[in-house]
Amino acid sequence: MKLLPDFLARPPKQWTRRDVLKLSAASVTTLGLGVLGYGCAIRQSVELSRVEVKIPNLPSAFDGLTIAHLTDIHHGIYTNFEYIDRCVQIVNGLQPDVIALTGDFTYGGKRYVEPCAEALSQLRARVGVYAVLGNHDYYVGASSVALALKRAGVTVMIDQLDRLELRGERLWLAGVDDFYYGTTDLHRLLRDVPRDGARVVLSHNPDFIEEFAAKNEHADLMISGHTHGGQIRFPWAGAPHIVSPYGQQYAAGLNRKDAMQVYTSRGLGTILLPTRVDCPPEIVLFTLRS
């Protein structure tokens, strides 16, 4: 007489090492996909970082000057117009003195250049809106990106210098070309700046600070993007991939090279994968202090 169905009558399965490995691999894959999926859902939860930067030689007239910073917007296949527009409104709400845009405006084709510039045309700052270009701008055509930005009322600083004047005092604002694709002559760019003049430099790539050091030039503050902070970071281990020969050194936040300070923003958009893990997008509001 049959008392139990076959599957209950069978002796319990003996787990082999192979079974355990298979189950572990499946669990890790499922967990990984879940984390990436969550990162995709929250990849546009932008954070505002308020950063005070001390510049000892900053003229007193510029003490308290604010610079709002947007970078690596990457309007395109993963980053839509509405999100950029929302970031523009956040920046305008901060009522900054200066707005700095440090390159990589699109991702996925030339057709995103004009819409991105259209969104940025709404930016408002007391002194002005300044931009430099990044490597992705060269991929779609640096001149077309620069032209679209100029039409949008942005001052494009490809190896250019601007002198801000307030109550008879000066602050020097310089923009360098992309580190990989440009041909910046730092000595020529900075030749009119007095050695003790306070200098803020816009550079897409934070590694440019090494070039300043190698050429014995100086930046009090370099404002950069490019790394996206790694885009995917792990607690305690940091980002497994940073597009820099200096690894984690300039991956994110405020860092130093000798007496120079360089801030690397995590940026707004994403590339390769539409996800951010433990690395939210960032708008920065700098306040300069003497």
Least CB distance to Fe ion at residue 276 (A): 13
The residue (of 97 and 104) whose beta carbon lies closer to Fe ion is 104
The residue (of 59 and 103) whose beta carbon lies closer to Fe ion is 103
Closest among 53, 112, 88 to 268, alpha carbons compared:
88
The residue (of 104 and 177) whose beta carbon lies closer to Fe ion is 104
Least CB distance to Fe ion at residue 73 (A): 9
Answer for the pair 177, 196: CB distance below 8 angstroms, yes or no.
no
Helix (H) or strand (E) holding 35: helix 17-41
Answer for the pair 176, 182: CB distance below 8 angstroms, yes or no.
yes
Least CB distance to Fe ion at residue 260 (A): 22
Residue with tokens 């399965």: 13
By the criterion CB under 5 A, which residues form the site for Fe ion?
72, 104
Query: In angstroms, how far apart are the furthest CA atoms of the chain?
Result: 105
How far apart (Å, rounded) are the C-alpha atoms in residues 44 and 67?
22
How far apart (Å, rounded) are the C-alpha atoms in residues 199 and 156?
17
The residue (of 66 and 265) whose beta carbon lies closer to Fe ion is 265
Least CB distance to Fe ion at residue 60 (A): 36
Least CB distance to Fe ion at residue 47 (A): 17
The residue (of 104 and 178) whose beta carbon lies closer to Fe ion is 104
User: Residue 42 has what DSSP assignment?
Assistant: T
- The C-alpha angle with vertex 264 and arms to 220 and 267, in degrees rounded to 5, equals 135
Least CB distance to Fe ion at residue 123 (A): 19
What is the CB neighbour count within 10 angstroms for residue 259? 10
User: Residue 60 has what DSSP assignment?
Assistant: G
How far apart (Å, rounded) are the C-alpha atoms in residues 219 and 190?
10
User: Residue 234 has what DSSP assignment?
Assistant: B
Burial class (CB in 10 A: 0-12, 13-18, 19+), 204: buried
Least CB distance to Fe ion at residue 206 (A): 12
How far apart (Å, rounded) are the C-alpha atoms in residues 201 and 161?
9
Least CB distance to Fe ion at residue 243 (A): 8
The residue (of 174 and 271) whose beta carbon lies closer to Fe ion is 271
The residue (of 71 and 255) whose beta carbon lies closer to Fe ion is 71
How far apart (Å, rounded) are the C-alpha atoms in residues 158 and 161?
9
The residue (of 74 and 218) whose beta carbon lies closer to Fe ion is 74
